[in-house]
């Protein structure tokens, strides 16, 4: 079955999208067409949005699902009048919160919600730059400054995880690729020794690794199953011998790898919300 879902916001739409996708994922039998309409911050834009909703209802013979985080009353009214099932996050949950906190929300008094600008901008950019400058073992001299150093074989997920940790949490994450030379005597490389406490290992199912490497360099020794099995065998042995905590990235999203690392290491986010 097909249905249309709109995620509507006067800002980026990220909250409406995140919550909306989470709710819709509970209905696996339905194939949702998802449309995000961000920056709906004027009556004119709201009227266009309402027209799109009504058109989708008329075309598909079902009223769309609308998940929104709109604050402004005039804009709300226009969306409310459209032909849809409206999941209205703010008006649903703010009343009980107001009672609990004995205070009126900015929503109630008609102010828009907090701007997306934050004092975190520089800390975040700093962390992203740190991840870029300390990617792939290119330099090891800044490791003293790192919050964490991810290690693992080529294509096990180190770089995107470092970037996500930087972007989402402001964590300074370096990464170092373990090569065959490094593995010769099953010890971590000399340059990593002073930072043993910061090391966190990634591993991955060898078949999955071979598939990923084949995308990059098809039919190479590097991408061969034999080579992948061999490398993964060695790094897992290394992690165990040296008591380095590690996690498998197989079948995990970058978000999940990152939040599990935060959880296991006890690292605290450096960005304020």
Q: For residues 41 and 70, is the Cβ–Cβ distance under 8 A? A: no
Rounded Cα distance between 12 and 9, Å, is 7
Give the shortest CB-184-to-its own copies separation in angstroms: 28
If one asks whether residue 170 binds its own copies (CB under 8 A), the answer comes out as no
Stretch of residues binding its own copies (CB under 8 A), selected from 140-148, 181-189, 194-202, 248-256: 248-256
Task: Give least dist CB 19 to its own copies, A.
Answer: 5
Q: Establish how many alpha carbons lie within 13 A of residue 87's alpha carbon, considering only the half-sphere containing its beta carbon.
A: 17
Closer CB to its own copies, residue 171 or residue 183? 171
Q: Which residue has the tokens 């009353």?
A: 73
User: What residues form DSSP beta bridges with 175?
Assistant: 150
Q: Is 95 in the site for its own copies (CB under 8 A)?
A: no
CA distance 95 to 120: 30
Q: Which is nearer to its own copies, 115 or 218 (CB)?
A: 115
35 near its own copies, rule: CB under 8 A: no
Does the protein bind its own copies through residue 6 (CB under 8 A)? Answer: no
163: helix, coil or strand?
helix
Which positions from 65 through 94 interact with its own copies, judged by CB under 8 A?
Answer: 65, 69, 85, 87, 89-90, 92-94
The residue within the footprint of its own copies, chosen from 96, 184, 197, 243 (CB under 8 A), is 96
Count of C-beta atoms within a 10 Å radius of residue 171: 25
Strands 65-68 and 2-8: parallel
The binder of its own copies chosen from 2, 31, 59, 103 (CB under 8 A): 103
DSSP letter string over 51-87?
A: HHHHHHHHHHSSPPEEEE----HHHHHHHHTSSSEEE
Structure tokens at 201: 């290992």
Contact status: 273 vs its own copies (CB under 8 A):
yes
Minimum CB distance to its own copies, residue 147 (Å)? 17
Going residue by residue from 214 to 243, which x/- string records binding to its own copies, judged by CB under 8 A? -x----------------------------
Q: Does 252 bind its own copies (CB under 8 A)?
A: yes
For the bound state, the minimum distance from the C-beta of residue 210 to its own copies, rounded and expressed in Å, comes to: 13
The tokens describing 64, both together, are 């769309």
CB under 8 A: which stretch of 53-61, 63-71, 142-150, 240-248 binds its own copies?
63-71
Residue list 173-202, contact with its own copies (CB under 8 A): none
Residue 134, classed as helix, strand or coil, is coil
CB 198 within 8 A of CB 143: yes
CB of 93 to its own copies, least distance (A): 5
């Amino acid at each position: 079955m097909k249905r249309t879902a709109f995620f509507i916001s006067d800002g980026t739409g990220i909250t409406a999208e995140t919550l909306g996708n989470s709710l819709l994922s509970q209905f696996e039998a339905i194939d949702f067409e998802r449309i995000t309409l961000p920056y709906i911050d004027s009556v004119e834009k709201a009227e266009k949005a309402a027209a799109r909703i009504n058109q989708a209802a008329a075309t598909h013979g079902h009223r769309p699902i609308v998940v929104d985080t709109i604050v402004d009353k005039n804009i709300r009214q226009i969306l409310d009048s459209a032909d849809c099932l409206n999941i209205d996050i703010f008006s649903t949950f703010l009343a009980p919160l107001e009672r609990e906190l004995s205070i009126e929300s900015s929503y109630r008094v008609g102010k828009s919600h907090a701007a997306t600008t934050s004092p975190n901008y520089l800390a975040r950019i700093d962390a992203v730059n740190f991840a870029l400058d300390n990617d792939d073992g290119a330099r090891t001299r800044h490791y003293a400054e790192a919050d964490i150093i991810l290690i693992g074989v080529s294509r096990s997920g180190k770089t995107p995880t470092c970037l996500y940790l930087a972007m989402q949490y402001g964590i300074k994450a370096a990464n170092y690729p373990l090569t065959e030379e490094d593995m010769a005597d099953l010890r971590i490389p000399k340059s990593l020794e002073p930072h043993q406490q910061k090391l966190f290992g990634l591993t991955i199912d060898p078949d999955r690794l071979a598939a990923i490497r084949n995308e990059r360099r098809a039919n190479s020794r590097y991408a061969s199953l034999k080579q992948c099995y061999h490398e993964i065998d060695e790094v897992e042995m290394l992690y165990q011998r040296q008591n380095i905590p590690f996690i498998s990235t197989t079948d995990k999203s970058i978000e999940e790898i990152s939040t599990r690392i935060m959880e296991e290491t006890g690292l605290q986010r450096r960005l304020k919300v």
